[in-house]
Amino acid sequence: MSEVTVHKQRPKHLAVNQIRLPLPGIVSILHRISGAGLFLLLPFLLYLLDRSLGSPETFETFSAVVGHPLAKLLLLGLLWAYMHHFCAGIRFLLLDLHKGTELQAARNSSRIVLIVSIALTVIIGVKLW
């Protein structure tokens, strides 16, 4: 080590809008957000399940709720959250097994998670819409 030490000025505040997060970090944050969204909207999903299975009258309520465009958009978002959480969960399980921990492999698996989750959302969303 040399005797000369460079003193780099540290920022006085953290500019969150200027931080450039790598793709694996974005996938990790989206995994957490999708998990929290699925957990928080679980009562809504259970309500829909109850309405769809109760009786013919409650099925009418279910059909009316699901037929609303805002509900369809919310359900499409929940479908993406589930698909992303599932795909990213598999990625994180593989990372726990020390598979794909190299930088390029981690970036590629992050891209694959995003592409597959969006593709599955589109495919299933079109079939269900």
Give yes or no for a contact between 34 and 81, defined as CB atoms under 8 angstroms apart.
yes
**Is 14 inside a domain boundary?**
no
Residue with more model confidence, 15 or 121: 121
> Where do runs of H (alpha helix) occur along 1-129?
23-40, 42-53, 56-67, 69-96, 103-128
Contact between residue 76 and residue 125 where contact means Cβ atoms under 8 Å apart? yes
Mean pLDDT of the chain: 91
Q: Please indicate, yes or no, if residue 97 is contained in any of the structural domains.
A: yes
What is the domain-level CATH number for residue 123? 1.20.1300.10
Is 11 a domain residue? no
Question: Mind listing the pLDDT tens digit for each residue in 19-37?
Answer: 788 999 999 999 999 999 9
118 is in which domain, residue-wise?
27-128
Is 57 part of a structural domain of the chain? yes
pLDDT score at 83: 97
- Over residues 41-82, the pLDDT tens digits come to 999 999 999 999 989 999 998 999 899 999 999 999 999 999
What integer is the mean pLDDT of 105-127? 96
Into how many domains does the chain fold? Answer: 1
